[in-house]
Amino acid sequence: MSDKVLPITGYLDRFSHRPGERFEARVSLREPGPARARLVRVISGDPNPEGPGLRFEDLSQRFDHVFEGRSQPIRRGSHALIARPPRRGAGPCTWTALLRVVAPPRAPAALISEEQPGLAVTILVGAEGASAEIAFGGEVHRIATGARWPLRRWMRVWLSADPASGRIVLGQQAIDGTRPTVATATVPGLVLPDGGGRLLVAARDAAAPRDHVTGKVEDPAILAGFQEAWPQPDAQLSPATPGLLAGWDFSRDIPTQRVLDIGPQSCDGVLVNVPTRAMVGARWSGAEMCWRHAPRDYGAIQFNADDLGDCGWGTDFTFTVPQDLRSGAYAFHITCAGGEDWLPFYVLPPRGTSTAPVAFLASTFTYQAYANHARGNADAAYKARVAAWGAYPHNPDDYPIYGRSTYNRHPDNSGIAFSSRLRPILTMRPGFLTFNDQRGSGLRHYPADTHILAWLEARGIAFDVITDEDVHEEGEALLANYRVVMTGSHPEYHTRATLDALASYTRERGRMMYLGGNGFYWRIAVTQTLPGILELRRAEGGIRAWAAEPGEYYHQTDGAYGGLWRRNGRPPQMLAGVGFSGQGLFEGTHYRLLPAARDPRHAWIFEGVEGETFGGYGLSGGGAAGFELDRADVALGTPEDTAILARSEDPPASFVTVPEELLSHVNTVTGEKADALKRAEIVIFETPGGGAVFATGSITWCGSLWQAGAFQGPVSRIMENVLRRFAGA
């Protein structure tokens, strides 16, 4: 994995704060030296010269700070750290663990490593089998089984050492009882110190961890005694295990980052860089699919060489939000001799208040789920466009050191289930291009949502900004300050708390404008015990970048069933009236008005819009109805009195019907033809409590707010008609 770093970059303690609260900025320079941070307000993040352009309001008079920049390390790779290994007295000792890998290790990886004063003992696993190193007295003694490591099989590995004779034994054996492979050697003068030092599981070198394992580990233990062989390689670790000095039962305290020792000395440890727990272990039978019902079946942890939780950088400057700074989107523009970067953030209004009737709800959970999504598309043509437009110049394809997204995979091809915001996020930058879009700008997520902010600015509409993390923490009370809440273009990832808050808000006279597609789709988990981290299990169904393994569908952090909200009994249609139905390449088409659009109850929405079709243009894929499309469905929760005002037509050839709509190659859930489900629908409905929802059913809708050099045209007019009616009612 590349260790290439940016000239200057950083991250903040969180995405949003209120007046009087303090942002903490953590910054790292490739070469230490002077650096500067200035405040800007982000108006537009689209660098397309035919669009609104990159636009910032310089607020350096409010904050302009020079500091001495330093180089701060990033240490990827998850492991368990036992700060106090057991005391063991004189005599022989055995280290052991179970391991399962599904891809050959690229280099020997450390399964267990104990570091004592004057001694280091390490068990390693590579493509050519288990090996071990015992370092003492200035020498390193090595031993190896030489037996090729089998894939997708649980293996028992053990290393025994006898100081009296100097004899060591290293063994590996499949737990199904297959004949073991054992190597022996003699180390003259071997001494095993009694206590002190540290122990790592799935890595070595506690001072600068390296040689990380990518695979599942279960039941690591240290035993008194010498093991020539292992008569029962599948034996389950327990307090009654003969000779147990320390043993870490990973099935205990699964929601936490603690690993508990069931031995007599309580040598508990901590996990580093958030490996994945609640994973099926060596003895999982399939009798239970939820780890909460049979935790001992889930005694494995999936460690990964590329896991990254909190970078752990020190704070380089702080910024207390002034009381008079308006709510909105901001960034710190950080510069040094070698380059520049932006650290975006949002400012909320003072707690319990609003400064406008309209709130833009930033989809920060979704930005985080996609954080540093490496798509493999940063080719020469992409980089030429970036340079020509003066777009954000860095792409995560080139910088794996900052961690990947939940749309990427670990080195063994397993899916990435955690994403942290406590690291540089290159995809969340003004001017970042996701695609080399020949029909438009190629923006998604954070920069794409600035189309809405720039449109609001251009139309003279006052607004506040809130984030879905804030809604998760504060609930419906945060939303209740507003007459209208506007989503971004892709509010895909949500917790139960955010859905509950939005549902309560719209039931109680709140008005929501859902301005995207594929929204309210995946269930995620966040917890105060892991600040800045979200968890995702891509369980059954859905358009998925990877699929969770059977039995691993439940979150470790909250114990809830992961996957689609539709599979959790809350299809998007229940909240927004429409839900995900079709997807294609980043291209779009137009909408056609339906009879309900001319009904006197809804005709105000289309006042000033001429013709029966609209939206066949735009900065996102060239059309307002594109990329990912949502449709109404009463069977999935669309209110029965919902008016379907317009529908997309002529989907491009790249579009497909999403898998959760299909029962077979010919049958769909609705009974309609599969091709008919590749549609976006614009809907509006009122709730019994006096609220209302307007939904556009397309990710690319907001890119069509811009037409012919300005924020104008039918899509802009429809948006303004609805927003002003909702805000003024």
pLDDT band at 1 (very low <50, low <70, confident <90, very high): low
pLDDT of amino acid 89: 84
526-585 per-position pLDDT tens digit: 999 999 999 999 998 899 999 999 999 999 999 999 999 999 999 999 999 999 999 999
Residue range 347-362: mean pLDDT, rounded: 97
Which of 194-198, 418-422, 708-712 is predicted least confidently?
194-198
Calculate what percentage of the chain has a pLDDT beyond 90: 94
Range(s) within the chain of domains with CATH label 3.40.50.880 = 328-728
Q: Say if residue 99's pLDDT is above 70.
A: yes
Q: Which fold has domain 328-728?
A: Rossmann fold (3.40.50)
In 138-261, at which residue ranges do the beta strands (DSSP E only) sit? 139-144, 155-162, 167-174, 181-186, 198-201, 215-224, 244-249, 258-261
Mean pLDDT of the chain: 96
pLDDT digits (tens, 9 = 90+) for 381-402: 999 999 999 999 999 999 999 9
The string of pLDDT tens digits covering residues 256-289 is 999 999 999 999 999 999 999 999 999 999 999 9
> Which pLDDT belongs to residue 118?
84
Do 126 and 107 contact (CB within 8 A), yes or no? yes
What 8-state DSSP symbol labels residue 554?
B
Mean pLDDT of all residues in 456-474: 98
Report the C-alpha gap between 669 and 657 in whole angstroms: 11
Q: List 626's β-bridge partners, or say none.
A: 588
Averaged pLDDT for residues 324-332: 98
Q: What pLDDT sits at residue 729?
A: 59
Assign 719 to helix, strand or coil: helix
Q: What is the pLDDT of residue 177?
A: 79
Q: If we measure between CA atoms, which residue out of 724, 718, 705 comes closest to residue 449?
A: 705
Q: What is the dihedral of CA 578, 584, 586, 591, to 10 degrees?
A: -50
Q: How far is CA 339 from the centre of its chain?
A: 27
Give the torsion sign (CA, 411, 412, 415, 421).
negative
Q: How confident is the model at residue 138 (pLDDT cuts 50, 70, 90)?
A: confident
30-51 pLDDT tens trace:
999 999 999 999 999 999 999 9
Average pLDDT over every residue of 429-449 = 98
Q: What is the pLDDT of residues 476-502, one digit of tens each?
A: 999 999 999 999 999 999 999 999 999
Residue 468 near residue 522 (C-beta atoms within 8 A): no
Query: What residues are paired with 363 via a beta bridge?
Result: none
pLDDT of residue 46: 98
Torsion of CA 43, 45, 48, 51, to 10 degrees: -30
pTM confidence score? 0.97
pLDDT (average), residues 598-623: 97
The Cα 259–Cα 270 span in angstroms is 6
Domain formed by 79-303, architecture = Sandwich (2.60)
List where CATH 2.60.120.200 sits in the chain.
79-303
Mean pLDDT of 68-94: 95
pLDDT at residue 650, as a whole number:
96
Taking the C-alpha atoms of residue 415 and residue 74, their distance in angstroms, rounded to an integer, is: 21
